[in-house]
Amino acid sequence: MSDPHQPATSPGTDQGDLEHRAAIAEALGKEVWPADRDQLLAKAQEGPASDPVLSDLRRLPAGQQFGNVQEVAQALGLGTEQQRF
């Protein structure tokens, strides 16, 4: 039985993915969207983004627009929460 005091994660995600996505979101902020890889890298380099975050952003496909951190996480192959209807 799961611990009721632990945060729930959606199927397809794990705590590491959530922490990874949170670090990317923190580095980018809310004002950058929509943006492509180069814009995201430039924004992350303005602040104290960690080397792993910068490395991940460099792996994004060139020329593709991202509307939010969820789309970035999907492009990086991180588990993402499923949208509920």
Give every CB contact of residue 78 below 8 A, 6+ residues apart in sequence.
13, 17, 20, 21
- Sequence-distant (≥ 6) Cβ neighbours of residue 64 within 8 angstroms: 36, 37, 75
Listed in sequence order, the residues at least 6 apart from 14 whose beta carbon sits closer than 8 Å to its beta carbon are 79
9, 15 in Cβ contact below 8 A?
yes
Is the predicted pLDDT of residue 83 greater than 90, yes or no? no
Check if the beta carbon of residue 40 is closer than 8 Å to that of residue 57. Answer: yes
With respect to residue 46, please indicate whether it lies within any of the assigned structural domains: yes
Query: How many structural domains comprise the chain?
Result: 1
Confidence of residue 15 (pLDDT cuts 50, 70, 90): confident
Q: Which structural domain range is residue 39 located in?
A: 15-75
20 domain-assigned = yes
82 pLDDT band, cuts 50/70/90, is: low
Query: Does position 51 have pLDDT exceeding 90, yes or no?
Result: yes
Residue 84 lies in a domain: no
Average pLDDT, the chain: 83
Decide if 81 is inside a domain: no
What is the arithmetic mean of pLDDT over 27-51? 95
